[in-house]
Amino acid sequence: MTTQPTVEGARALESYGSVREWQFSFQNFWRTDGPPDSWKAALGRFAEQNGTDPDAIIDEVLKPAPAGEGLLLRTRARRKYVELVDDFERQEGRAAANAVRSFLIHNGIAMTPGILR
């Protein structure tokens, strides 16, 4: 990744509920420590670049919707973030982008990237 993380920056992100959820879910699934600080820093850069914050991203994609419309809204919002993360990958590489994807997935936004071959 292109920018060294700061402990302060990573800790600041932990004030967001969605980042804490990411941490919890990651630890719970992998049975290891949570995502490294460098991943959180990548998330922070992604959010800042897109004028948003971690909780707002999750809310935008998973917000409650009128009955019957939820799936469509989620699909559109999810596609938006898939594309934004793809853009982020072009700038910062797969590892940084996967950090953001990990955050999204652990918060319930399913996605899979193209594979590396």
Partner 1 sequence: MEFKRVVGSRRSVRYFETERPVERAKVETILQAARLASRAMNVPWGKGIVAYRHELTQDERDALKTPWAGVEFDLAPVYLLWYHDTDARRVNLTEARYPSVPSGVLQDIAVYGPPHGWSRKYVERVILPEVLTPGLERGPARGGNSDAGVSLAQAYLAAVDEGLGACLVPFDEQGARRVLGAPEYWEPVLALVFGYSVESPEAGGQRPRPPWESVCFDGHARTPFRRDPAVVATLEAAGLIQEPAPIGWRAEEVRALSRGFELPGGEPPPRSA
Partner 2 sequence: MEFKAVVGTRRSTRIWQPWRPVEEAKLQTILEAVYRAPRVLEVDFVRALVMRRDALTHEQLLQLKTPTTTSQIELCPIVLWVYADLEALGQAMEGAVLEELIDAGALNESHGWTRERVHAEIIPDVYRPILEREDRVPMQFRTPDGMREGPSYSRELVALARTAIGIAQAHALLAAVDVGLGVQLSAIAPAVPKEILGIPDSWIVSSPILLGYSAEQPGGQRPREPLEESVCEGRFGRPFESDPDVVERLKQQQMIQDPQPTAWRRAELRRLARMFGLPE
CB-based burial of residue 112 (10 Å sphere; 0-12 exposed, 13-18 middle, 19+ buried)? exposed
Burial class (CB in 10 A: 0-12, 13-18, 19+), 62: middle
Among 1, 9, 21, 87, binds partner 1 (CB under 8 A): 21
HEC string of 36-75 equals: CHHHHHHHHHHHHHCCCCHHHHHHHHHCCCCCCCHHHHHH
Binding residues for partner 2 restricted to 46-75, rule: CB under 8 A: 75
From the list partner 2, partner 1, none, partner contacted by residue 82 (C-beta under 5 to 8 A by kind) = partner 2
**Which residue in 53, 81, 100, 106 binds partner 1 (CB under 8 A)?**
106
C-beta of residue 85 within 8 angstroms of C-beta of residue 104:
yes
Closer residue to partner 2 in complex, CB, 8/43:
43
Does position 98 interact with partner 2 (CB under 8 A)? The reply is: yes
| Residue range at the interface with partner 1 (CB under 8 A); choices 1-9, 40-48, 62-70, 89-97 | 62-70
Residue 38 φ then ψ, to 5°: -65, -35
Which of the listed partners (partner 2, partner 1, none) does 23 bind, with a CB threshold of 5 to 8 Å by partner kind? none
Considering beta carbons, is residue 31 or 90 the nearer one to partner 1?
Answer: 31
Contact between 74 and partner 1 by CB under 8 A: the answer reads yes
